[in-house]
Amino acid sequence: VRALWLEDRRLIFREDAPEPAAGGEAMVRVSCAGICNTDLELLRGYYPFTGVPGHEFVGVVEASPEATWLGRRVVGEINAVCGACAACGAGRRNHCERRSVLGIRARDGAFGERLRLPAANLHLVPDELADEAAIFVEPLAAALEIQEQVAFSPGQRVVVVGDGKLGQLVARTLALTGVDLVAVGRHRAKLERLEAAGIATAPAACVPERRADVVVECTGNSEGLAFALKTVRPAGTVVLKSTYRGEATLNVSALVVDEVRLVGSRCGPFAPALALLAQRRIDVGPLVEARYPLSEGLDAFDHAARSGVLKVLLTP
């Protein structure tokens, strides 16, 4: 079948990629998929994955052990879990010790004609939600994970660092909580899209130091992390939402003296993400930058990797 294929940090388009074997899982024909920064990082060797990348998708179920799913339009949680390890037993399924992760670890992903996932991972997409909105469910769920980890209350000072794909979604979710929100970024066009969504933006130099109750770091670079640590108040919280290449150096004593809390944050809950999109409380339309057919996937990746570019979509 046709798919993008990643091997040894090289991406190619194959007409002869292996057909996914459903086993006891559901088979989904991909309608649309989105390129995420994690996909770009995989290409740079962030994690040694070989196979079909891609984990943001919407599709239609072609086969399933549970017949109710047949023909349904779905999105899917990306962690396929064992259900038996300590993490699964404790209800932390996204941390399953034996998990495979769609398009990231030991499981072919969404940049192909079809993918397979356990039926338990699927979520029905309401009819009123277009494919191009539904592909944002997965990253929007990741943005909502922050609210599962940190309690926000109206009026708290919150700074989102980074105006990219994830920063845009994080700012849009936090704007709904009543916090006193400022987004910081470097790209005029991206900042304008935040402002159009009613979110205040500011140049980094204008954000006061040591004042924010919570800072969410969405840049994935060490300058962003340093800025977040400078901006948070004593006894405040820095949420780390992006993975970083290599190691970062921290002044650990400053964390101790200022009693700062660092919180790593990854995958989140799909149901509220679907609800927010279906209720049109979050408009992801302005985040779509370009659309490519799968056969032009390498061009799509080049486009997505350019500075200032938001979501690039692939259709089979």
Site residues (vs a second copy, CB under 8 A): 46, 86-87, 92, 95, 97, 145, 149, 210-211, 225, 233-235, 240-245, 247-266
Sequence letter at residue 200: A
* Structure token pair of residue 98: 């034996």
Cβ-based nearer residue to a second copy, 3 or 238: 238
Min dist CB 251 to a second copy, Å, is: 5
Min dist CB 125 to a second copy, Å, is: 26
Cβ-based nearer residue to a second copy, 102 or 125: 102
Cβ atoms 111, 314 nearer than 8 A = yes
Cβ-based nearer residue to a second copy, 3 or 215: 215
Rounded distance between C-alpha atoms, residue 206 and residue 54, angstroms: 37
Min dist CB 229 to a second copy, Å, is: 11
Helix, strand or coil, per DSSP, at residue 192 = helix
Cβ-based nearer residue to a second copy, 266 or 281: 266
Is the torsion defined by CA of 311, 296, 131, 44 positive or negative? Answer: negative
For residue 255, which of 241, 284, 235 has the smallest C-alpha distance? 235
Min dist CB 23 to a second copy, Å, is: 26
Cβ-based nearer residue to a second copy, 67 or 256: 256
Residue 19: which region, alpha, beta or left (left: phi > 0; alpha: psi -120 to 50)? beta
Rounded distance between C-alpha atoms, residue 110 and residue 139, angstroms: 14
Min dist CB 140 to a second copy, Å, is: 17
Rounded distance between C-alpha atoms, residue 205 and residue 287, angstroms: 26
